[in-house]
Amino acid sequence: MIQYIFKRLLLMIPTLIGAAVLIFFILRLIPGDVCEIRLAGSGLYADPEQIKLCRDNLGLNDPIMVQFWDFIFGFATLDLGESMWTGQPVSYEIGLRFQLSLQVAIMATVVSLLIAIPLGTISAVKQNTWIDYGVRAFSIAGIALPSFWLGIMIILGLLITTQALFGEPWMPPITYVSPFEDFWGNMSQLIWPAVATGYRYSAVATRMTRSALLEVLREDYIRTARAKGMIEKIIINRHALKNSMLPVITVVGIEFAFLMGGLVVTEQVFNLNGLGKLFVESVLNQDFTLTQALVMVVVTIFIFTNFLIDICYAWLDPRIRYA
């Protein structure tokens, strides 16, 4: 097992290098640069001399291979450089948003699991009954509804309902406060995006739980357990559910990694200052250093999440052993 973990860790290096090469060159294929946006983007008089000076200061006029070497060397030494837009260290910019994105991802995952496992299980156990149909409709709706639309509806719903009930409209806070400073303030902001994304996320996990559980329930050992007269609840909870969790864990893991950097639109809808919003802004601003760093962070999260999923497999299914 340790040898396997070591090999997997080593394999991360070429994957990260590949991602670094791709993102560096793809970004430079996009027309325009940060200096144009910063100095000419507002329609005011744009002094060509100032734009050139800006490019010189940011190293955009350096040969491409010099820029590439700076990026790779910086990444290898964990120096991600400074944002071309704000001039702040990239690690500071990312670190500031990481806590929020992590919290939303965890909360959305919890919401999703709280919905998906009970509903998926009920749906499988009550296969082809009205309960099953109801759960399937609910989960298909979750896949069909974009979470940003659901987010907008939640905000509008809150505004309209609270105005009708209390005379003054209420909406979630639009600036982040840490749960350690103000727990309820934090929850009143983040529970809504967690529900909006967690619902969509649960839809996939519900269907996965249902189909995996149905498969397991047809196994010989389940039939044997029933033949022995074991209580159905114990069969489901102790023998079937745990063994049907492998594909569910995979889906949950991938979705979690996706949530860390991919909540692009939901973060905009709820004005969350997370990694997704930062991603959009850095791309729109042509902030190469920040975009490169963000991509590398997300790639690293994906790699680690996949790695952890593989380790979980062995824990869930004792037959799986890595040599």
Partner 1 sequence: MKYTGLKYATALAVGTVMAFGLAASPGQAATDGMTPKKGGVLNFVVGSKIPSFDGHVETTFGMVHPIRPFYSLLIRINPDNPSSPTDFVCDVCEGDVPKGEDGGKTFTFKIRKDIKFHDGTPLSAQDVVATFNKIIFPPKGIASSRKAFFKMVESVKATDKYTVQFKLKFPSGSFIPAVATPFNFIYSKKDLDEKGYKWHQKNINGTGPFRFVEYQPGSFVSGKKYEGYHFKGQPYLDGFKAISAPKMSLRLQAIRGDRAAIEFRGFPPKARDDLVKALGDKITVQESDWNCVLMFTPNQKKKPFDDVRVRKALTLAVDRWGGSKYLSKIAIVKTVGGVVFPKHPLAATKEEMVKLAGYGTDIEANRAEARRLLKEAGQEGLTFTLNNRAVDQPYKVVGTWLIDQWKKVGMNVTQQVNPSPVFYDILRKKKNFDVSIDFNCQSVINPIADVTKFLGSAGNNYGNYDDPVLEAIYAKLERAETQEEQRKLMREFETRALNDQALIGVTLWWYKINAYRSYVKGWKIAPSHYLNQSLDNIWLDK
**At its nearest, how many Å lie between partner 1 and the CB of residue 265?**
10
- Separation of CA 50 from chain center: 39
Among residues 176 and 302, whose Cβ is nearest to partner 1?
176
**At its nearest, how many Å lie between partner 1 and the CB of residue 64?**
16
Q: Which long-range contacts (CB under 8 A, 24 or more apart) does 55-62 make?
A: 58/34, 58/84, 60/33, 60/34, 60/35
Q: Which long-range contacts (CB under 8 A, 24 or more apart) does 183-191 make?
A: 186/103, 189/270, 189/272, 190/100, 190/103, 190/104, 190/107, 190/272, 191/107
The region of 59-67, 154-162, 199-207, 306-314 touching partner 1 under the rule CB under 8 A is 154-162
Is the Cβ–Cβ distance between 91 and 278 less than 8 Å?
no
Among residues 152 and 312, whose Cβ is nearest to partner 1?
152
**At its nearest, how many Å lie between partner 1 and the CB of residue 45?**
5
Q: Is 62 in the site for partner 1 (CB under 8 A)?
A: no
What percentage of the chain's residues is helix, strand, coil (to nearest 5)?
Answer: 75, 0, 25
Among residues 171 and 214, whose Cβ is nearest to partner 1?
171
**At its nearest, how many Å lie between partner 1 and the CB of residue 30?**
7
User: Looking at 163, 178, 224, 237, which residue binds partner 1 (CB under 8 A)?
Assistant: 163
User: Looking at 32, 118, 146, 157, which residue binds partner 1 (CB under 8 A)?
Assistant: 32
**At its nearest, how many Å lie between partner 1 and the CB of residue 198?**
21
Among residues 132 and 281, whose Cβ is nearest to partner 1?
281
What distance in Å separates the CA atoms of residue 73 and residue 236, rounded to the nearest whole number?
53
Question: Which among 255, 290, 299, 317 has a CA at the least distance from the CA of 91?
Answer: 290
Q: Is 96 in the site for partner 1 (CB under 8 A)?
A: yes
Task: Enumerate the H helices of 244-287 as residue ranges.
Answer: 245-262, 264-269, 275-284
Q: Is 281 in the site for partner 1 (CB under 8 A)?
A: yes
User: Looking at 48, 63, 229, 318, which residue binds partner 1 (CB under 8 A)?
Assistant: 48
Helix (H, G, I), strand (E, B) or coil at 113: helix
**At its nearest, how many Å lie between partner 1 and the CB of residue 165?**
12
Question: Which among 271, 276, 270, 303 has a CA at the least distance from the CA of 291?
Answer: 276
* Tokens coding 238: 């102790």
Positions touching partner 1 (CB under 8 A) are 30-33, 36-48, 50, 53-54, 56-57, 85-88, 92-93, 96-97, 152, 155-156, 158-159, 163, 167-171, 173-176, 268-271, 273, 277-278, 281, 284-286
